[in-house]
Amino acid sequence: MISLVFVVAAYLIGSLSFAVIVSRAMGLADPRSFGSGNPGATNVLRSGKKIAALLTLLGDGAKGWLAVWLATLLQADYAIGERTLAGVALAVVVGHMWPVLFGFKGGKGVATAAGVLFALHAWMGLATLGVWLGVAAIFRISSLAALTAALAAPVFCWLWLPGKQALFGAVLVISALLIRRHKSNILNLLAGTEGRIGTKASPPE
Ligand code: G3P
């Protein structure tokens, strides 16, 4: 029962779409209405407001980190096992992708997944972030960086969390969901039409 409480709480934390919250608070257009239509930091950056994109990135990343960190902190008190922790890790990303609080129209999960990885193991988070930064620096394409990092994350999990099968499974599923959510980006990449980081989009009037 307590496991279910943690998983549902993680899902609700994940449901807080910071792209929408920050944009509304700053009087910007809803990120679901311009650019890629994705409520995420990359698309908020297309509004031209760098600070809004940064706050979105931090908010979405922090919620992934917070859900896993809280479960880890209370692990001993509530006898939370590895499988519940894996459920929490997955639930917060699922909450971001399909948020009950925002009509189930969520983002692609990159920042939230990064927060989860950092909370599970700092080196795993850093290594995955390193892959994202490296690919982004070379190609200047956010989705390509995210897709490469998603492929690398399970390898890093296997390296830094050996024998943690449930957590490995959670990271694997998170990566698979993240890649699935990038379907339109993959098609654009194959067509050579994927936009570069920082290219502005015209928000609706
Ligand atoms: O973080 C999401 C990013 O990988 C792609 O975003 O807006 O270009 O679809 P976007």
φ, ψ at 184 (rounded to 5°): -65, -35
| Amino acid 205: pLDDT | 54
The whole-angstrom distance between residue 12's C-alpha and the CA centroid of its chain comes to 14
Q: Structure pTM?
A: 0.95
Low-confidence ranges of the chain (pLDDT < 70): 202-205
Tell me the best of 23, 34, 43 to mutate to test the pocket of ligand 1, counting ligand atoms within 8 Å of each CB and taking the most.
43
162 Cα–ligand 1 center, Å = 30
- Identify the burial level of 103 via C-beta atoms within 10 angstroms of its C-beta, where 0-12 means exposed, 13-18 middle and 19 or more buried: exposed
| Amino acid 110: pLDDT | 98
Q: Residue 46: CB within 6 Å of ligand 1? A: no
Buried b / exposed e over 178-194, threshold 16 CB at 10 Å, is bbebbeebeebbeeeeb
| Amino acid 202: pLDDT | 66
Q: Residue 143: CB within 6 Å of ligand 1? A: yes
The whole-angstrom distance between residue 122's C-alpha and the CA centroid of its chain comes to 16
The whole-angstrom distance between residue 61's C-alpha and the CA centroid of its chain comes to 7
Give the containing element (helix H, strand E) for 184: helix 183-191
CA angle in degrees (0–180, nearest 5) for 15-7-91: 50
CA–CA separation, 80 vs 84, rounded Å?
6
Which tens digits make up the pLDDT trace of 135-184?
999 999 999 999 999 999 999 999 999 999 999 999 999 999 999 999 99
Which tens digits make up the pLDDT trace of 29-38?
999 999 999 9
142 Cα–ligand 1 center, Å = 6
182 Cα–ligand 1 center, Å = 7
Query: CA-CA distances (angstroms) from residue 101 to 12, 20, 31?
Result: 8, 11, 16
Q: Residue 31: CB within 6 Å of ligand 1? A: no
* Nearest CA residue ID for atom 6, ligand 1: 42
CA–CA separation, 193 vs 189, rounded Å?
6
Q: What is the ipTM for the molecules in this complex?
A: 0.95
